[in-house]
């Protein structure tokens, strides 16, 4: 008995930690499959022992919201749904009743209130009792009607979601790998809870109604199905739904399971709710679940296979991700042979070793995951050297999660960003060399330094046979490389990727030395310090860069490849002189944060990476977020401004009006 109580406490702590990590820190310390399995174990123990801890996730609907959006208590608590993976339980739930079956969408639940035909209020689910008021953002959801025919008070619930295509598009625009969103749900949550609804509008958030809470003086014929059809008539998109009963529910579940692969939006299961409203309401609720509804989670198709290897995949941030490579198996209609393991902590939880017999499945029928390790031989052979550069690796622990990093600052994988900068529009402007292509060329050994890009013709035959390349695409690449040979000295200096040197700074420095390459390479800190807008830090990094013989040789090799043209001078008013900025988060009006940095530097300001007492402004479109930089700025009394406010400063001589 004592052991079971102890296990129950362990499960409560572990599940709460996993949920905090997922909901508040955007990290995963266990798979959905593992979470569900442990949750079910906890529920069984609680039933057996007749004990439920106050902090148990089986009775706590959610965590308190952490943002600084206005809060509002819901008129009635928004409860979770009891769940099953067994169709037979759905049949038991239905009995002799009919029910509406629909998608369980994986986004952010929103409560809307309309009065006199106009949207009055939108509130997130929050912790089920208190939500965040996001009315301003709801007004820019792509498909949400601001005005409807019905003139009474209407309250309804639905899901705000972002589709997979928009999720991929938005993530592609984020240069910083660590800032990319993990999944559409996290992106949707961040988008819906913005203070600047321009950002929300650009994210293509859609709203799908799934429950009518109240509408005065309307006869809904005691039918949930009729309510959804009525909401359609009011202009709402409603969640796809069918009417079913005990006899047909298995067929319906099968239909939805085939349909999920065609959907653009994420779904983690199905929902059944009794069509008979009065009957459903007469059943009341438990402490956590309404009795008129049931959630069905996909009974994951699980296959046994053998783990062949752990592939360690380095990224430009230095993070080395473990990927499980296994004997191919058929899952949900496709052949699968690899799955991300995310980090060392998950590997250790699974005791994952090469040769183990593992069970694999697709989370939400989409993403390959390891469900269980049947033989558990144990984690071994975590690489001590980076598979790309051979540099030493280091295990990093943060939020109780172990990850592996390459410690070599010169690692080619880390330099991918440098090569991407070199070919970017504001640098050498070479089209056809995406990061994916650069990664392939670096891996094949075609490119070891920037100058090698001008000699890709050495590998013409190999390149033409690579995926995504042929005669035409290779020809286009060659033309683009040749066109890039005509450039300016500031663009060439900027393309080197010297720390702190944006294009604006490069222009100022090159102008001061008459675009003379010898003077630039031999400039002293004192000379650079005398240039307005440069400063001691930039002067030091510039001198330190050219103090290295390898950098001087690279610069000279590049000079031999290009033709330098004189650049037209365009002086900017130094409105940000003696001002220090920090930029964080995604940007909307600029291509990337680098462009914001250049705009500041061109006007005499400085950009640093961390908030200190010397910082004048922190630029963050998510002004009210609880990020570490925002917290630090608030502690120091430093203004946090949006990109919109920064643009106002540029228009108003460096002042916010």
pLDDT band at residue 178 using 50, 70 and 90 as cut-offs: very low
Please count the CA atoms within 13 angstroms of the CA of 278 that sit on its side-chain side: 4
Q: Confidence band (pLDDT; 50, 70, 90) for 67?
A: very low
pLDDT digit string (tens) for 210-258?
999 999 889 999 999 999 999 988 889 999 999 999 999 999 988 888 8
Respond yes or no: is residue 104 known to be catalytic.
yes
Q: Is the distance from CB of 112 to CB of 156 less than 8 angstroms?
A: yes
Mean per-residue pLDDT, 326-337: 82
How much of the chain, in percent, has pLDDT values that exceed 90? 30
pLDDT, average across residues 313-321: 75
Please give the model's pTM, rounded to 2 decimal places.
0.50
Report pLDDT for 543.
Answer: 92
The DSSP line for 280-343 is HHHT-B-SS-BTTEEEE------EEEEEEEEEEEE-TTSEEEEEEEEEEEEETTEEEEEEE--S
Which of these ranges, 137-151, 400-414, 486-500, has the smallest mean pLDDT?
A: 400-414
pLDDT over threshold 60, residue 399:
yes
Confidence of residue 428 (pLDDT cuts 50, 70, 90): very high
Handedness of CA 332, 337, 342, 347 (dihedral sign): positive
Give helix then strand counts, H and E, for the chain. Answer: 24, 24
The Cα–Cα gap between 427 and 450 comes to 12
* Average pLDDT of span 464-482: 85
pLDDT, position 572: 65
Structure confidence at residue 65 (pLDDT): 44
SS3 275: coil
> Is residue 68 predicted with pLDDT exceeding 50?
yes
Q: Which of 4, 5, 98, 104 is catalytic?
A: 104
Confidence label for 498 from pLDDT (cuts 50, 70 and 90): confident
Strand partners, 309: 325
Task: Provide the b/e sequence for 125-138 (b: ≥16 CB within 10 Å).
Answer: bbbbebbbbbeebb
Question: Contacts from 630-637 at CB under 8 Å and sequence distance 24+?
Answer: 633/582, 636/611, 636/612
524-572 tens-digit pLDDT: 999 988 886 677 778 888 999 999 998 999 999 999 999 998 755 455 6
């Amino acid at each position: 008995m004592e052991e079971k109580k102890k296990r129950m406490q362990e499960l409560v702590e572990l599940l709460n930690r996993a949920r905090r990590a997922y909901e508040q820190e955007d990290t995963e310390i266990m798979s959905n499959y593992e979470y569900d399995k442990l949750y079910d174990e906890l529920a069984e123990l609680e039933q057996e022992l007749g004990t439920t801890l106050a902090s148990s996730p089986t009775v706590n609907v959610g965590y308190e919201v952490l943002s600084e959006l206005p809060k509002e208590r819901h008129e009635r608590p928004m409860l979770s749904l009891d769940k099953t993976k067994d169709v037979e339980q759905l049949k038991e739930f239905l009995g002799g009743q009919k029910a509406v079956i629909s998608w369980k969408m994986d986004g952010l639940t929103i409560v809307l209130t309309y009065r006199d035909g106009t949207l009055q209020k939108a509130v997130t689910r929050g912790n089920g009792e208190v939500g965040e008021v996001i009315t301003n953002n709801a007004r820019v959801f792509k498909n949400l009607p601001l005005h409807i025919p019905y003139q009474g008070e209407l309250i309804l619930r639905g899901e705000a979601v972002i589709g997979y295509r928009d999720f991929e598009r938005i993530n592609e625009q984020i240069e910083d790998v660590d800032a990319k969103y993990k999944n559409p749900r996290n992106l949707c949550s961040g988008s819906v809870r913005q203070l600047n609804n321009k950002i929300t509008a650009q994210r293509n958030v859609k709203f799908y109604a799934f429950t009518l809470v109240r509408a005065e003086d309307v006869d809904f014929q005691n039918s949930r199905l009729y309510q959804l059809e009525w909401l359609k008539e009011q202009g709402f998109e409603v969640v796809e739904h069918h009417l079913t009963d005990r006899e047909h529910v298995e067929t319906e579940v099968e239909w939805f399971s085939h349909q999920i692969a065609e959907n653009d939006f994420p779904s983690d299961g199905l929902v059944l709710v009794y069509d008979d409203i009065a009957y459903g309401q007469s059943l009341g609720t438990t402490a956590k679940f309404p009795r008129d509804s049931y959630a069905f989670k996909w009974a994951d198709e699980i296959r046994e296979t053998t783990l062949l290897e752990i592939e360690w995949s380095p990224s430009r941030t230095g993070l080395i991700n473990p990927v499980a490579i296994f004997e191919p198996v058929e899952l949900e209609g496709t052949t699968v042979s690899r799955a991300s393991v995310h980090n060392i902590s998950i590997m250790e939880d699974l005791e994952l070793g090469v040769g183990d017999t593992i069970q694999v499945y697709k989370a939400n029928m989409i993403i390959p995951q390891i469900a269980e390790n049947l033989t558990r031989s144990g984690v071994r052979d975590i690489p001590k050297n980076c598979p790309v550069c051979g540099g030493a690796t280091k295990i990093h622990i943060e939020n109780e999660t172990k990850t592996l990093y390459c410690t070599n600052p010169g690692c080619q994988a880390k330099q991918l960003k440098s090569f991407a900068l070199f070919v970017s529009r504001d640098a050498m402007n070479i089209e056809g060399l995406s990061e994916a292509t650069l990664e392939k060329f670096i891996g094949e050994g075609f490119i070891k330094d920037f100058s090698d890009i001008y000699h890709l013709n050495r590998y013409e035959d190999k390149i033409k046979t690579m995926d995504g390349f042929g005669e035409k695409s290779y020809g286009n690449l060659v033309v683009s490389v040749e066109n890039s040979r005509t450039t300016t000295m500031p663009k060439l200096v900027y393309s080197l990727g010297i720390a702190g040197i944006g294009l604006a700074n490069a222009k100022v420095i090159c102008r001061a030395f008459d675009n003379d390459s010898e003077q630039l390479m031999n400039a002293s800190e004192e000379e650079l310090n005398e240039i307005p807008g440069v400063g001691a830090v930039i002067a030091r990094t510039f001198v330190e860069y050219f103090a290295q013989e390898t950098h001087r040789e690279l610069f000279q090799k590049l000079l031999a490849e290009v033709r330098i043209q004189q650049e037209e001078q365009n002086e900017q008013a130094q409105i940000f002189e003696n001002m220090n900025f920090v930029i964080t988060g995604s940007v909307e009006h600029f291509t990337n944060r680098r462009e914001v940095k250049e705009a500041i530097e061109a006007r005499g300001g400085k950009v640093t990476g961390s908030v200190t007492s010397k910082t004048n402004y922190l630029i963050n479109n998510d002004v009210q977020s609880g990020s570490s930089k925002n917290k630090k700025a608030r502690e120091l009394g430093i203004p946090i401004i949006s990109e919109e406010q920064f643009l106002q400063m540029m228009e108003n001589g460096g002042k916010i009006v």
